[in-house]
Amino acid sequence: MAVVTQRTLPSRTPQGPGTPTRLTRAPRRPDAEPHVAYPVQVAAAWSWRLLIIAAGLLALGYVLAYFSEILIPVLVAVLVAALLDPLVELMVRRQIPRGLAVAATLVTTLVVVGALLALVGTQIASGLTELSTQALQGLTQVRAWLSEGPLGITNAQLNAYLDQAQAAVSANSQQLATGALSVTTTLGHALAGAFLALFAVIFLLYDGRGIWEWLVRLLPRGAEGPVDRAVQRGWVTLVAYVRATVVVASVDALGIGVGAALLGIPLAVPLAVLVFLGAFVPIVGALVSGAVAVLVGLVAEGPVTALIMLGVVVLVQQLESHVLQPFLLGRAVSVHPLGVIVAIAAGVTLAGIPGALFAVPVVAVLNTVITYLVKGDQGEGMELPEGAEDAPLAPDPVKD
């Protein structure tokens, strides 16, 4: 009798339309992080953080550029307040009310600046006729030197160059007119900014302490004390920078102005004022203003006088670079000359002439503030000078 073996088949659950489909989990893939080199992970982590920081800085720069007509006068007011602050504090220590001290300081400053501008205007008005006559003679000498000197440029070539220049001016007359109109608009904005800066200086000198205390209260409680002490040292650095720059600018203006007057170069006083203002842009400003003095000497008196004027400018610049700046600034503004050049270049690229003016003081203050926040009182030159806590923008230390 044959035995029939029955094979059991696997049962299948019928799946109808209402039966839920059973999902099968895919095998888990191994984590890729162990296979990425650690330096690459660090670089990636730094990259996205730096991108976020760059985006934040870009947005901040856009906001600052949008409000530049307000920001620039306020920054100018801070520099002027740093310059006038020692005079106000001196009178306050002599029991003069702060309001009266601020008023006396500002009135004296405005009178001095107004008298200086009047003198410059008088010199320019009286010297234009002489300068035009000397300029014609100087151009004749320069033309003779170009044709008879080592360059050997013929009169025909010179006339061709002059014709090209005249044609270029005629072709761009509309652009020049538009530029003149924009200059007029800029002068209007500058006048409004000057009034804003004046009011800002008044309040910074009179109630700078209250303004700073209000700002520091906006910070988190744990950050109030360190930021307050860091900004106190930054303010001391700014005062030292402005005072040293004024002294250096005065010496530069006196040296180049006296040299121009002795050489008989017209507009010696306006040139001295230009040198004084240019010295507030370290290194670059002095070179540009000195070049203007040499150019005026070349046009008015000829190549020999221009060479002598160039020697005077170089001598004054050497005195500034090797004696005045190291002695006056010292450790208060410890910024390497390369850092100064890079800061000025970045400032010009980002904000033009205002950027060149504010680049070095901003870098100097940030250097002091960041050094204190990182190293505390152990940083070199971080001790607060005696009396610095009386400055209007450096209030009483806030307790942690």
Domain boundary assignment for the chain: 71-390
Would you state the pLDDT for residue 52? 95
Query: What letter does residue 37 receive in the DSSP assignment?
Result: -
Residue range 143-160: average pLDDT?
65
Confidence category of residue 218, pLDDT binned at 50, 70, 90:
confident
Of 11-15, 76-80, 156-160, minimum mean pLDDT range: 11-15
Would you state the pLDDT for residue 15? 53
H or E element, residue 285: helix 284-301
Residue range 323-333: average pLDDT?
67
State the first-to-last Cα distance of the chain, in angstroms, to the nearest integer.
Answer: 103
Look at residue 397 and tell me whether its pLDDT is greater than 50. Answer: no
Q: In this structure, are residues 127 and 266 in contact, taking their beta carbons and an 8 Å threshold?
A: yes
Look at residue 126 and tell me whether its pLDDT is greater than 80. Answer: no
Q: Which of 378, 371, 376 is nearest to 333 (CA)?
A: 371
Tell me the H-state helices in the chain.
38-66, 68-93, 98-148, 155-171, 173-216, 221-262, 268-278, 284-301, 303-319, 325-329, 337-375
Note the pTM of the prediction, 2 decimals: 0.69
Would you state the pLDDT for residue 30? 61
Look at residue 1 and tell me whether its pLDDT is greater than 50. Answer: no
Look at residue 384 and tell me whether its pLDDT is greater than 50. Answer: yes
322 to 35, 64, 254, 255, 315: CA distances (angstroms): 57, 36, 18, 15, 11
Would you state the pLDDT for residue 147? 66
Would you state the pLDDT for residue 400? 41
Would you state the pLDDT for residue 128? 65
Would you state the pLDDT for residue 25? 61
Residue range 366-395: average pLDDT?
64
